[in-house]
């Protein structure tokens, strides 16, 4: 492997670690400095390795360069004296700048990344910025990759990240881990960020398949980090991990070669990943130890049944129950629509149509798509009307293609 291949790989795995460790030294509000030094270390690597060849331990090489750059930066001192000195004095290990050890031990890397996760998920930072920052700082994605995932351009992402960093300074978000009294509430925003990240990959409008898949697995990796750390190894975190594993098991089956969505009913079950299904089962079991039934538990329960392809009374009865409980915990139009679908599987289409009409979610494209589905075979004319309504509201080419296929199927039947 030459340096042009190894550097992008190392960037993905090491950039986030180096930034996290440096941020722990400089403070969360000095993130740009940490990022600059880290990028600089990679640039140096590209130059040096291209001429002299790849060193025996490239990762350690990067850590050493980054640590030296950080020390030099601190020694240069202008910012040190005015901004950083008061903060560094607080920590016992820090004295004179010469004594500062930037430590890249696995333990310190983990601890730094965990702190970073909590800081980025701080409620003061808007959700969109949280995802952007997570992708950049926690997952080591390039700006162009983030732009692609959001279907926008680099400038927009750069501006968004810039504003997020401003917010961090304004709100005075620190890298301190929350104490025992705070940890539950703060962990819940960390879990939300991870869940958003996963959904960004799972439902993203981008048709770059490998990018979407990576997003999902990055979310899984972050959640796994929480589980490996005792105070954050909660029943909710385990439930979220189970939920993501169950969903991720169908990643290869739900998109066809052209990137179009393959409906659940039409998926090739042999493409479902049974390792991820059993992994999900393992974490769902561990999640069962808690006293609280969170939305992640319920969604993981639903996701489990979705890994069972066969339509049984038990399957749909359970899914319906989980949606009922989910709606009791937290109403969402999507859960109400999915509940109605499960209702049709348990009680038949006609009853479900009555229930659906009561939801009154006009302007919601999924509402019309559901009605289209329920009316199919009961009243095909109405089915067509509703599917056309959904098509008019559809937002992505993939959605339009799926709906058009169903409309064509109905027209042919007539």
Per-residue x/- track, 190-219, another protein (CB under 8 A): ------------------------------
Bridge partners (DSSP) listed for residue 261: 255
The distance of closest approach from Cβ of residue 344 to another protein in the complex, given in angstroms and rounded to an integer, is: 13
Give the C-alpha distances (Å, rounded to integers) separating 42 from 4, 19, 134, 351.
Answer: 11, 12, 20, 62
DSSP E strands in 30-86: the ranges are none
- Closest by CA position to 304, among listed 291, 322, 292: 322
Q: Which is nearer to another protein, 107 or 328 (CB)?
A: 328
Contact 246, 303 (CB under 8 A): yes
Nearer to another protein, 313 or 412 (CB): 313
Supply the minimum distance, in Å, between the C-beta of residue 339 and another protein: 5
Give 289's DSSP letter: T
- Cα separations (Å) of 109 from 9, 45, 117, 277? 18, 20, 12, 30
Is 260 a binder of another protein (CB under 8 A)?
no
H-helix segments, 100-234: 106-120, 127-133, 143-149, 154-171, 183-203, 209-227
Distances (CA, A) of 268 to 14, 280, 300: 36, 20, 22
In this structure, the number of other CB atoms found within 10 A of the CB of residue 42 comes to 19
Least spacing, CB of residue 362 vs another protein, in Å: 13
Nearer to another protein, 177 or 327 (CB): 327
Least distance CB 288 / another protein (angstroms): 23
Nearer to another protein, 25 or 339 (CB): 339
Identify which of residues 281 and 351 has a Cβ nearer to another protein in the complex. Answer: 351
Least distance from C-beta 112 to another protein, angstroms? 42
Instruction: Give the binding-site size for another protein (rule: CB under 8 A).
Output: 11
Residue 315 C-beta: closest distance to another protein, Å:
18
In the bound state with another protein, the residue whose beta carbon lies nearer, of 20 and 326, is 326
SS3 182: coil
The binding track of 360-399 with respect to another protein, each residue x by CB under 8 A or -, is x---------------------------------------
Closest approach of Cβ 353 to another protein, in Å?
A: 13
Residue with smaller CB distance to another protein, 226 or 320: 320
Cβ atoms of 352 and 376 within 8 Å: the answer is no
Q: Smaller CB distance to another protein: residue 258 or 328?
A: 328
Nearer to another protein, 241 or 336 (CB): 336
Q: How far is the CB of 335 from another protein (least distance, A)?
A: 8
Site for another protein in 311-370 (CB under 8 A): 324, 327-328, 331, 336, 339-340, 355, 358-360
In this structure, the number of other CB atoms found within 10 A of the CB of residue 117 comes to 25
CB of 327 to another protein, least distance (A): 5
Residues in the chain: 414
The whole-angstrom separation of Cα 94 and Cα 70 is: 14
Cα-based torsion angle of the residue sequence 210, 212, 218, 221 in order, rounded to the nearest 10 degrees: -90
Q: Residue numbers of the site for another protein (CB under 8 A)?
A: 324, 327-328, 331, 336, 339-340, 355, 358-360
């Amino acid at each position: 492997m030459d340096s042009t291949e190894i550097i992008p790989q190392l960037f993905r795995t090491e950039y986030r670690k180096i930034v996290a460790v440096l941020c722990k030294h400089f403070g969360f509000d000095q993130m740009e400095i940490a990022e600059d030094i880290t990028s600089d270390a990679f640039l140096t690597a590209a130059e040096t390795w291209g001429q002299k060849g790849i060193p025996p331990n490239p990762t350690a090489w990067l850590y050493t360069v980054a640590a030296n750059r950080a020390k030099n930066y601190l020694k240069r001192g202008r910012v040190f004296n005015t901004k950083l000195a008061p903060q560094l004095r607080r920590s016992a290990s820090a004295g004179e700048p010469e004594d500062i050890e930037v430590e890249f031990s696995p333990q310190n890397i983990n601890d730094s990344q965990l702190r970073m996760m909590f800081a980025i998920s701080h409620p003061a930072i808007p959700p969109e910025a949280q995802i952007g920052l997570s992708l950049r700082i926690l997952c080591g994605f390039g700006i162009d990759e983030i732009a692609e995932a959001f279907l926008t351009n680099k400038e927009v992402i750069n501006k968004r990240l810039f504003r997020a960093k401003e917010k961090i300074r304004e709100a005075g978000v620190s890298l301190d881990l929350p104490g025992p009294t705070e940890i539950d509430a703060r962990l819940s925003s960390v879990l939300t960020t991870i869940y958003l990240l996963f959904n960004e990959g799972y439902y993203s409008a981008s048709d770059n398949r490998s990018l979407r898949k990576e997003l999902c697995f990055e979310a899984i990796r972050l959640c796994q980090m929480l589980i490996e750390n005792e105070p954050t190894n909660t029943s909710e975190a385990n439930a979220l991990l189970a939920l993501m594993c169950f969903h991720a098991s169908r990643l290869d089956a739900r998109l066809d070669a052209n990137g179009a969505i393959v409906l659940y009913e039409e998926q090739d079950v042999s493409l479902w990943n049974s390792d991820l299904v059993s992994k999900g089962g393992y974490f769902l079991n561990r999640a069962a130890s808690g006293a609280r039934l969170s939305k992640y538990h319920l969604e993981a329960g639903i996701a489990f049944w979705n890994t069972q392809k066969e339509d049984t009374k038990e399957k749909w009865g359970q899914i319906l129950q989980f949606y009922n409980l989910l709606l009791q915990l937290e109403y969402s139009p999507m859960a109400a629509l999915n509940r109605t679908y499960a209702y049709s599987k348990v009680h038949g289409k006609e009853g479900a149509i009555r229930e659906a009409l009561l939801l009154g979610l006009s302007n919601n494209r999924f509402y019309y798509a559901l009605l289209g589905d329920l009316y199919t075979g009961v009243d095909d004319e109405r089915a067509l009307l509703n599917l056309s309504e959904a098509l008019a509201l559809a937002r992505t080419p993939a959605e339009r293609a799926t709906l058009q296929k169903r409309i064509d199927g109905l027209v042919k039947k007539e």
